Chain A
Amino acid sequence: MKAHWITALAATLAFAGSGSAALAEQAASPMQLVGDVKVDKQVIENGQTKHVLVAPDVVVPGDRLIFSTRYRNTGAEPVKDFVVTNPLPAGVMLADSGAAVQTVSVDGGKSWGKLPTLTVADSQGAKRPAQPGDVTHVRWTLPLIAPGASGTLTYNAIVR
């Protein structure tokens, strides 16, 4: 536990340096979120296609990015109803794989559901089934996170 408190203190100092009071408040949170991104490169080795995750040093349209958020409960109390929301950046669209099983929004976070159950308005005002490219947000809900527990949430996106 002691180690976690040190981490939280270090974060507080760093945020105080940036001069943001709002961030400083968040830094006191028992929950920690650390984002990361990797590129899923396909390489062909001995005739077999393999996926390799590399740092996003070179990224072009069509590349697959894996955005991850690592969470950790650094507090002494269990955390409940942990809801992580991730707006999709404008330059990417949700990858097909996983699009059907993730909880997503296609209306800027107003309503949520699995993609096959969602619809969007087409240009004539009628409804059409939502596509991965329509997704504006992804969301994860974890009912309980014990003290010290951690995990990683990921979604795959294609650079538009």
Chain B
Amino acid sequence: MENRLTRSLGTGAAFAAAFTVLVLPAAANASGVTAGTLIQNTASATYTSGTATGSVQSNTVTVRVDELLDVAVAGLTTTPVATGSTSAVLAYSVTNTGNGAEAFTLTVNPTVAGNGFDATVQQVVIDTNGNGTYDPGTDQVLASGSPTPAIAPDGSLAVFVIVALPAGATDGQTSQVRLTADAVTGTGTPGTVVAGQGQGGGDAVVGSSGGTGNALDSLIATLATVSLVKSATVLDPFGGSQPVPGAVVTYTLTATVNGTGQATNVHVTDIIPVGTTYQAGTLTLDAAALTDVIDADAGTASASGVDVNLGTVAGGSTKTVTFGVKIN
């Protein structure tokens, strides 16, 4: 504290000499001189007095630069992140626009005006290896309430927020998620002084940002719905369509996937009705024959039922499964 005050001649001379050793290089930061830097000013003069020339030096005045608390947060996701049944990664950057190393407390708020749904926040992860990409298992998960590591002046830290769709979100709905970073040393009205808490031994001063920043990233729900319609045609032994013993019933199962997402692990299954017998080799998918046995193709059939594995089906697709049984 005291060494930031003006020194007067005499009492300050010894101190001024000691301070010379402490001068730190002024970093050429966009955010200004690094906190803790000592600005020292000394004037000198030459003159003539009578026939003699002389020189004189002033005392050195020293000003210590205090820490400015400023931060900027940006959303790095320019287009809404498509989010289906798996988690989505929202990327943000937190930039220390102050002049001292500072840690920031991160808060994620998924409730933003205009949201179609409020995402479920699963994790906040910092880009530990600094490659700008979310690396599960490598990048550090930030425990709730823990601040970031200290970020150097002008330095940036990428932050990933892992979110999932809540139950009830429907296809095409959009949502925004807000990330807020608050300087750990203090926030508030610009100009507020946090005495003695600045980097480099001085005070900390809340900057024009208020020591806080926030940004939004967007996501869009891309879901798929599956509907199944079953129909039957009967061919009796006499060429008609009467469901009499000996008649063959061909069942058609039509699976329709709607939405902008995709349905995964889709199976079409059915049981063989009581009083009928599966007709071997009649299973088809989209008019292509499938073998009854369990093998490389998508379908299996037995006396008890059929199972066709459609795997992942994109929205807007229709899959048709048929099989035949004979009425006993």
Contacts and interface: CB of A to CB of B under 8 A. Distances in A.
Interface of A: 10-11, 14-15, 17-18, 20, 23, 26, 29-37, 55-62, 65, 67, 69, 71, 75, 77-92, 145, 153, 159-160
Given A55-B6, A60-B99, A35 B59 contact: yes
Given A29-B56, A62-B32, A10 B10 contact: yes
Contacts of B324: none
B11 interface: yes
Contacts of B64: 59
Contacts of A26: 55-57
Contacts of A81: 46-48
A30 B68 contact: no
Given A11-B9, A58-B203, A91 B14 contact: no
Nearest to B38: A91
A59 B48 contact: no
B57 A59 contact: no
Contacts, number: 152
A114 B45 CA distance: 19
A30 B44 contact: no
Nearest to A145: B47
Chain A to chain B: the 4 pairs with minimum beta-carbon distance, closest first: A61-B32, A33-B58, A14-B10, A35-B58
B50 A33 contact: no
Given A17-B14, A57-B4, A89-B39, 13 more contacts: A10-B10, A26-B57, A33-B44, A33-B45, A55-B6, A58-B193, A58-B203, A59-B66, A60-B207, A61-B99, A67-B61, A159-B65, A160-B26
A34 B48 contact: no
Given A10-B10, A60-B99, A84-B45, A89 B40 contact: yes
B43 A84 contact: yes
B49 A75 contact: yes
B126 to A, nearest CB: 27
5 contacts: A18-B17, A56-B4, A65-B39, A67-B41, A90-B26
A54 B106 CA distance: 36
Interface in B59-74: 59-61, 63-68
A79 B59 contact: no
Contacts of A62: 32
B105 interface: no
Contacts of B26: 90-91, 160
B54 interface: yes
B6 A83 contact: no
B205 interface: yes
B5 A55 contact: yes
Given A14-B13, A35-B61, A59-B64, A160 B33 contact: yes
Contact of A60 (B1, B43, B68): B68
A59 B35 CA distance: 10
A72 B184 CA distance: 49
**Of A33, A71, A91, most B-chain CB atoms within 10 Å:** A91
Given A29-B55, A55-B5, A37 B13 contact: no
A86 B43 contact: yes
A5 B39 CA distance: 32
B283 to A, nearest CB: 76
Interface in B65-110: 65-68, 99
A71 B45 contact: yes
A37 B6 contact: yes
B45 A37 contact: no
Contact of B54 (A31, A86, A87): A31
A89 B43 contact: no
B17 A20 contact: yes
Contacts of B6: 35-37, 55-56
Nearest to B60: A35
Contacts of A55: 5-6
B8 interface: yes
B63 A59 contact: yes
A160 B203 CA distance: 17
Contacts of A92: 39
Contact of A159 (B5, B33, B50, B54): B33
Contact of B63 (A56, A71, A86, A87): A56
